[in-house]
Amino acid sequence: MKQNISRLEKESGYIIKSGAQIKFALVYPNFYNVGMSNLGIHIIYQLLNSMQNVSCERFFLPEVVSVETQTPLNKFDVIGFAVSFEQDYFNVVKMLQLAKIKIRAAERTKFDPLIIAGGPCATFNPEPLSLIFDAFVIGEAEVILPPFIEVVKENLPRLETLEKISQVLGMYVPKFFDCNYNSDGTIKKIYSLLPTPYSLKRQWLKNLDEYPAHSVIITDDTEFNMYLIETARGCGHHCRFCMAGYCFRKPRNRSLEILKAEVDAAKKFGKKIGLMGAAISDYPQINELCKYILDSNLEMSVASFRADSVTKELVEALVKSGLKTLTVAPEVGSEKMRAVVNKSITEENIFTAVELGIAAGLKNFKLYFMIGLPFEELADVEEIVNLTIRLKKFVGTGRLTLSVNPFVPKPFTPFQWAKFADKKYLNAALKILRTGLKNLRGVEIISESIKSAEVQAILARGDRRIAEFVIQSDSPQKFLEVLRDSDIDEDFYLRERAADEIFAWDFLDMGFEKKYLRAEFERAAALKSTPACFDGCKRCGVCL
């Protein structure tokens, strides 16, 4: 409690509302400095507190009293978790345990809070958490939470409330769905227990300018200590491994006028501007925006950029703002694998991005790669070594850091059918990289553990049977122990899926048909590329 009071003293922009009809606890299931670096927390906090008769207060691990008023978590009417990463599932369990709240939704009564979840994990595959949460937000909160709150305000009995919530577009209530299984453990059928539409359609904000998105609460106690501004949502590049690229379509940009106004509002805080978006360099007026930020005597940083759209002006603006290391994400090393993942950047694009960094005075570069991708062979991993050698020669005395991680298949991507690579293959791939680069001075390899990636892979494509194992676990290691003690083989969730298999998330509608994703998987196998989104495109169906 003392820690929360101390934090509040260092913040500006927080809101305390008394006498509200609905008390909403906004929970980020990780530490304060991580959660306050998440722009979604700021967006939802402002959205809820702008509603009449609603007060929203924040919670972070390990505290179970609010930052604003030190009110216990179990005293709120609604508890909303923002779940961005599979590894945080165990923190959800931990926080409910600490707050003495029944973990299983079926055991909670009218005297307990309604507990909901939103964020990427809730939208893409809520089933591994389906025994815990009363409801899930499928899509973007700005268009879903207002009608949800109106239902909660009616103060109906719990079952009636859940029934009405299930009728809100974009709200999924797992209590009213069930499924049958085949003898081999695969899903036979998913069905609704209420006369509601079988398919739950993701809701999304059509005009971003209607809801400016920026830091609301200002504090130095964050991972990056920036004033965050969202430039765009969605990505149209069709990288076949990327869940966000498929589930946040269509690509949407904020107007330059709105972004300039947000930069103006940030001036008084004197913080570095952190531009947020799937690929900042894709923003059509990125050069003008960079100039405006620098002319406002502010520094800037970006969440990410693409090597094929990065500009000289953007790199120079980042270096002027104190950037020491330029990050590029080739993802793969061979032309074959670029075709497989549909990563449209070329080796020339990669070298051009690095050249822009060198010209701006940078000497350090970070490169993101994946191993264990569909249709990958160890010869393709060797091409990562060869690319790195060429890049190291190009940067001279500069330093290269390779971040190499096992590929995790995700729902609603063309690779949702793919297997998670076995440990033997992944270890062999890492050995090739380390052996091939060990004598190259100024090159470092960092990698996520295979076990950690394996847990993510199980959770990402898990069904509601997995939820029981999540409930019994407070850590990834415990989860694996519980799963291995059960009658379910973990390899069942890591295997390659059959073309006609029903997935646990198939009842959700992201705006495109499953056959579209399967066609992309087959194009990957055939080494065929798919062009990025363009005006008038009707391929996936989102824009229809």
pLDDT of amino acid 462: 97
305 pLDDT higher than 70: yes
Task: Read off the tokens for 321.
Answer: 């703002």
The neighbour count for residue 7, using CB atoms within 10 Å, is 20
pLDDT of amino acid 520: 96
**Nearby residues of 111 by Cβ (< 8 Å), 6 or more positions away:** none
The neighbour count for residue 114, using CB atoms within 10 Å, is 23
pLDDT of amino acid 537: 82
Q: Which pLDDT tens digit goes with each residue over 333-390? A: 999 999 999 998 999 999 999 999 999 999 999 999 999 999 999 999 999 999 999 9
Q: Which pLDDT tens digit goes with each residue over 422-466? A: 999 999 999 999 999 999 999 999 999 999 999 999 999 999 999
Domain boundaries, the chain: 2-6+20-189
Task: Read off the tokens for 310.
Answer: 């990065």
- pTM attached to this predicted model: 0.96
196 pLDDT higher than 90: no
pLDDT of amino acid 322: 94
pLDDT of amino acid 457: 97
Give the C-alpha separation, 91 to 99, whole Å. Answer: 12
244 pLDDT higher than 90: no
Indicate the pLDDT class of residue 139, thresholds 50, 70 and 90: very high
Give the C-alpha separation, 92 to 72, whole Å. Answer: 16
pLDDT of amino acid 198: 58
Indicate the pLDDT class of residue 540, thresholds 50, 70 and 90: confident
Terminal-to-terminal C-alpha distance of the chain? 51
Q: Which pLDDT tens digit goes with each residue over 283-299? A: 999 999 999 999 999 99
Percent of the chain whose predicted confidence (pLDDT) is above 90: 88
Indicate the pLDDT class of residue 197, thresholds 50, 70 and 90: low
Q: Domain 2-6+20-189 is of which CATH architecture?
A: 3-Layer(aba) Sandwich (3.40)
* Helices and strands in the chain: count of H runs, count of E runs: 20, 19
Check: CB of residue 40 under 8 Å from CB of residue 121: no
Three-state secondary structure call for residue 180: strand
Q: How many residues does the chain have?
A: 544
Q: What b/e readout covers 451-468, taking b as 16+ CB neighbours within 10 angstroms?
A: ebbbbbbbbbbbbbbbbb
pLDDT of amino acid 2: 64
Percent of the chain whose predicted confidence (pLDDT) is above 70: 99
Indicate the pLDDT class of residue 152, thresholds 50, 70 and 90: very high
279 pLDDT higher than 80: yes
Instruction: Tell me the pLDDT of the chain averaged across its residues.
Output: 94
**What's the average model confidence in pLDDT over 250-256?**
92
**What's the average model confidence in pLDDT over 388-417?**
97
Which amino acid is residue 288, in one-letter code? E
